[in-house]
């Protein structure tokens, strides 16, 4: 088996060490995105890949650790073993990973990279060799089937899924342990989807159209068969396409912007949905976000997509307050509210390790504050689209029912409601409201 040729600038032993330390940071409560952003550019790709894979295979890795080490090892050794076992399992599943002997040798070398693991070289070597033999000659014929691998969820999360999805919670768990696809949104202002698909074919990138989700037509979505760096995408830096999950592309389509409308994207960073709205119609857009750091990404994205204009305003502010608002009502408001992110675990596998059950109540309160303020800023006959990337009903349907009960002038229009993760999109919730009366 040949070793992969990518990421040669960082030795595998170093990458395993950094990945194990990143897992330790996640377990301590830090976002993996924040941890990875501190790495050098040549370190980030392989460390991200190793860490994501280790978190996705957390359950199976720990089953094997427990089988060969009855007494739980110290955390530093545990996390290093999880990374190495995930590499062994990956090689068994797709036959494209590192050779087993390479993984074992590099993991032993990794023990020397970190003071707290130097003593464990013998243990790591013995355990990984046993698992390596099991990988090569599994007792039951198949050691690891990625299509049957469940995602790690804390007990409270599992209870929530079992209660709300009694027939499908296990398939949701397995689906969210898979790597999410790379999906593009073609900028229809510049090129048709068919023409862009031809450009992809010319450079050897295979893609398939995603034509609808939940009855919502998608005219710009393309799912790539194999993920590639954005630098490989034709015309990416000229704004021909953006990376955006197909489920997220439903937002702008549902809001259906029309020329001349004044629209608020209330929690807009990093700007993917704002850009999509501008691709669909010549509108007056206010992109608002409470996070000044993330807000800075919107301008760059719009510039790349050639969507900046005098009708586009990017503003720092809290959408649950009115201190930033000039008093002019909006025709339409997109409220992509902060949430548990339980629908995008396939894209961010650190989420189940970070989220706490007590977070949900605080998020609910925040979502309701945002809904209430958005309603005040909406014109009569205007539309409010409430969105979360959650699969917990407490952040979706429960909130829509609560909101309807608070206002006599709410007309709920047809929208997909809850969509759960599949092989082509993440999980989202959508509710569309019309403001009746004067």
Q: Does residue 267 have an active-site annotation?
A: no
- Which residues have a Cβ under 8 Å from the Cβ of 242 and sit 6 or more positions away? 184, 185, 187, 272, 275, 301, 305
Q: Residue-wise over 324-348: b if at least 16 C-beta within 10 A, else e?
A: ebeeeebbbbbbbbbbbbbbbbbbb
- Using an 8 Å Cβ cutoff, are 362 and 399 in contact? no
- Catalytic annotation, pick one of 223, 267, 339, 389: 389
Q: Per the structure block, which two tokens stand in for 65?
A: 């650790």
- Using an 8 Å Cβ cutoff, are 353 and 26 in contact? yes
- Using an 8 Å Cβ cutoff, are 203 and 232 in contact? yes
CA dihedral 163, 164, 168, 169 (to 10 degrees): -60
Which active-site residues does the annotation give? 389
């Amino acid at each position: 088996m040949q070793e992969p040729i990518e990421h040669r600038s960082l030795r595998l032993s170093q990458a395993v060490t950094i990945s194990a330390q990143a897992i330790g940071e996640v377990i301590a409560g830090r976002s993996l995105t924040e941890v990875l952003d501190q790495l050098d550019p040549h370190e980030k790709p392989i460390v991200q890949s190793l860490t994501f894979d280790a978190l996705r295979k957390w359950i199976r890795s720990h089953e094997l650790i427990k089988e060969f080490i009855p007494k739980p090892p110290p955390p530093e050794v545990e996390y290093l073993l999880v990374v190495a076992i995930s590499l062994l399992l990956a090689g068994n599943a797709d036959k494209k990973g590192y050779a087993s002997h390479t993984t074992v040798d590099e993991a032993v070398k990794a023990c020397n990279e970190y003071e707290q693991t130097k003593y464990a070289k013998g243990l790591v070597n013995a355990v990984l060799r046993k698992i390596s033999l099991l990988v090569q000659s599994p007792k039951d014929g198949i050691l690891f089937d990625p299509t049957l691998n469940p995602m790690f969820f804390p007990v409270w999360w599992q209870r929530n899924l079992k209660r709300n999805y009694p027939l499908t919670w296990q398939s949701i768990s397995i689906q969210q342990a898979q790597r999410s696809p790379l999906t593009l949104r073609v900028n229809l202002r510049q090129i048709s989807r068919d023409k862009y698909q031809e450009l992809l074919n010319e450079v050897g990138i295979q893609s398939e159209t995603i034509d609808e989700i939940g009855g919502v037509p998608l005219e710009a979505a393309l799912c790539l068969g194999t993920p590639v760096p954005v630098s490989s995408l034709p015309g990416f830096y000229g704004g021909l396409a953006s990376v955006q999950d197909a489920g997220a592309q439903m937002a702008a389509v549902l809001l259906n912007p029309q020329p001349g409308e004044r629209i608020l994207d209330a929690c807009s960073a990093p700007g993917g949905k704002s850009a999509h709205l501008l691709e669909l119609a010549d509108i007056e857009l206010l992109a608002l976000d409470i996070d000044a750091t993330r807000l800075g990404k919107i301008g760059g994205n719009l510039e790349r997509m050639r969507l900046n204009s005098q009708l586009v305003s990017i503003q720092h502010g809290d959408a649950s307050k009115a201190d930033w608002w000039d008093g002019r009502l909006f025709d339409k408001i997109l409220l992509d509210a902060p949430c548990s992110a339980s629908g995008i675990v396939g894209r961010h596998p650190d989420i189940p390790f970070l989220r706490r059950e007590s977070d949900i109540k605080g998020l609910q309160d925040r979502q309701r504050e945002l809904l209430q303020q958005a309603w005040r800023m909406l014109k009569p006959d205007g539309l409010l689209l409430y969105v979360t990337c959650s699969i917990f009903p407490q952040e979706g349907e429960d909130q829509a029912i609560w909101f309807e009960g608070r206002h006599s002038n709410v007309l709920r229009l047809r929208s997909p409601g809850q969509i759960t993760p599949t092989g082509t999109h993440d999980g989202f919730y959508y509710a569309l409201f019309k403001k009746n009366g004067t």
